[in-house]
Amino acid sequence: MAPVASPLIQSLETSSLPSLPHVLLRVLDACNSNETSFSAIAEIISKDAALSSKVIGASSSALYGKPNKITAFEQKLVMLGLDMVRTIAISSSVYQVFSNISSSSPEFDMKSFWGRSLTSATLAKLIAQETAYPHPEEAYLTGLLLDVGQLVLWSNFPKQYATLSANVDDDLQLMQRETEEIGSNHCEVGAWLVGSWHLNSFMADAVLYHHVLASRVTDAHPLIRIAHVANSMSLANPGNEERLADGAALLGITLADSRRMITKARELVTKIAQTLEIEIDTGTTGAAEAGAAPEKPDQDKFHQKKMQLALEVRDIALVDGIALGVTSAPPSLDGILLAIQRSLHILFGFQNIIFFLRDQESGTLHGKSLASQHELVNEMAIPPKRGNSIVTDVLLVRSAYSSFVSGENGTLTVLDDQIARLMQAEGFYCQPMIAQDTIVGSMLFGLAKVQLPQVEKQRKLISMFAQQASQTLAAWHVDNEQARRTEFEVMSASRAKARQVVHEANNPLSIIKNYIKLLSVKLPQEDTVQGDLAIIREEIDRVTKIIRQVTEATEAYANPLEELNVNGVIQDLYKIFFESLFAQHQITVQTQLAPSLPNIVADKDKLKQVLINLMKNAAEAMQEGGLLLISTRGEIIRDGNEYIEISLVDNGPGIPKHIMADLFKPVSSTKGKGHAGLGLLIVKNLVDELKGRIFCQSNEISGTAFQILLPVTAKVVLMDR
């Protein structure tokens, strides 16, 4: 793997690597088109080393919670989403337009670098296919990024790198000069950058060793050997048998096959360059000439492309207000913070990020972290007092501050020391978040001390981004508070109306219950109807409790938990609905109730309400008759817990796909007038209250199946009570 990074390497800025304006224009056009697919965007981005490194780095970030595996490039774009891909393209374009580094610099020609990188990538993929390496896409990306360290060094030390790279004979001489004058060579820098993505790949090693003698990598991983051979071939003339010998020595590739692959790769690169309107020489170049300019660079065409890119950036700024993906975040606090974190990572390379958000009533700053390794941050609360912490002080002075600058007494406060340790960082940079006169909070970036100068260079841009993020968070708080007030007002009005309805509904229910009591007295005790009357009385009591809960807090009328025979509950409901529901709709009901089903401890009324809703749904779905199978099963183990299963399966027409997408949400009912579309939402809430789970499968061929899992371990709750 890549060696431990030196302080110099850690201080390098890698979030603003330059790309050709030709490529950036194509990416922006593709992102702005409604008809462009992710595969088309991936096809463009994968031709540029700088853009590819940003995509891989962003998609490999812990912010996306995905395994760091080399997958198809298109999958990485899908993982990021179009907004984030567009943010990468926009931020790269902004840098390209305003950077002092010129893509057509006479000291380092990006066109030549681009051509060589793409040639190495294409050769690596061809070699992988030729040698049956199972991951040709990984080989392609490795070849593309072999010399990405040159971009990093050039963008960080433009004048110095231009001088040292002039008039070198080969890559080994270039690496020697890099080490002597800067402190690290481009292989070490490139390996560090790739290694920082924590990929499950030998890509970093391939970058580190692609210029060493072939004899040193004879027994190395295939990817390292493929990269080494691809690099040699990219520099070789068809008649240069010395360079082509590496293919035979490391991978058993014949000279004829090597020449064939070189010819094919150069043809493909030439076609791609023509498509992007890039004029390059795909003929033989020496290693040291990789970054050297052609004798007559087409300055006018480069200038034209850069001006076109500048106009595109201006238009984007006017239309989007440079929101950079934050304002399009999901309408939740975590969604907005996650979008902010991802944008910070793409724009500035920050990965170690936490927030302190201000409580608008008390002024206290509460820690907020979306990363699992920083969970303790969520338990921190800092009072709004000067001198408590840098987190509060930056809000008072309204200016960013770092923990590397000592406090008044020469040391950090305990709180600031805690924060740095919780972030597992040497220190942190704290940026206030203020929207006009509204204090939102602070964002903190964990850093090594050597990284601070690079962050300070971007101080103004970070502040501008923080203002945009603060406005988004402030707007969310306003909307959230307004929604809460509206909900409270609607609920208050609804409860007032509900009290009237409940009062009127209780009267007929009481009358019906009294008549049933009189009927029971008149009938002999041994009459079989007595059992049916008892069920009806029980159901009336249940209805009374339900409508009473409309106006009062549910907890005030919480039913006691009791040990239930679930099979018995199902059989009682079957008796009630056999004639009134199933027979009326010509529905055949079959039951397969497990005889050894264990009892559970639960709220009987809630369970009955769940089953009644699902039975009624099945009956209403099969208006012309059908089959309903109700079954139970025990000994279901999920996540180490024991459940019983209740399933209701019908052979009706199934649930439409657009309803299935939001099955347990309040939607417009498909049953017509008199149905509010709330039945399954109620079912889901009741199952949640029973500490259970509910699943549904449905299609127009086999019908609909509901599966309910209820915990058997609830008995412990009863014993505790």
Tell me the pLDDT tens digit for each residue of 697-706. Answer: 888 888 899 9
Higher pLDDT, 320 or 114: 114
Beta bridge pairs of residue 562: 602
d(CA 249, CA 244): 9
d(CA 549, CA 502): 10
- Provide the 10 A C-beta neighbour count for residue 457: 11
Mean pLDDT of 426-436: 91
Residues 429, 430, 433: CA angle, nearest 5 degrees: 145
User: Residues 216-248: pLDDT tens digits?
Assistant: 999 999 999 999 999 999 987 766 777 788 888
Helix and strand counts by DSSP (H, E) for the chain: 28, 13
Residue 321 confidence (pLDDT): 42
Rounded to two decimals, the pTM is: 0.54
- Provide the 10 A C-beta neighbour count for residue 570: 20
Instruction: Return all residues near 672 (Cβ < 8 A) that are at least 6 apart.
Output: none
Residue 373, amino acid = Q
Cα dihedral sign, 23-28-34-38: positive
pLDDT of 689 higher than 60: yes
Homologous superfamily of the 333-481 domain (CATH): GAF domain (3.30.450.40)
d(CA 575, CA 267): 79
**Region 559-720: CATH code:** 3.30.565.10
Mean pLDDT of 369-394: 87
Residue 24 confidence (pLDDT): 84
Higher pLDDT, 545 or 444: 444
**Lowest-confidence pick of 240-254, 325-339, 407-421, 590-604:** 325-339
Residue 59, amino acid = S
- 273 close to 113: Cβ distance less than 8 angstroms: no
Residue 706 confidence (pLDDT): 92
Higher pLDDT, 332 or 324: 332
d(CA 1, CA 5): 11
Between β-strands 365-368 and 353-358, what pairing exists: parallel, antiparallel or unpaired?
A: antiparallel
Beta bridge pairs of residue 94: none
**Region 17-315: CATH code:** 1.10.3210.10
CA proximity to 355, closest of 323, 388, 328, 333: 333
Q: Where are the alpha helices (DSSP H) in 182-254?
A: 186-195, 203-209, 222-234, 241-251
CA proximity to 19, closest of 96, 90, 87: 96
What percent of the chain clears pLDDT 70, i.e. is strictly above it? 79
Cα dihedral sign, 511-512-513-518: positive
- Residue 444's Cβ-side half-sphere holds a number of Cα atoms within 13 Å equal to 33
Residue 264 confidence (pLDDT): 93
CA proximity to 704, closest of 671, 657, 667: 657
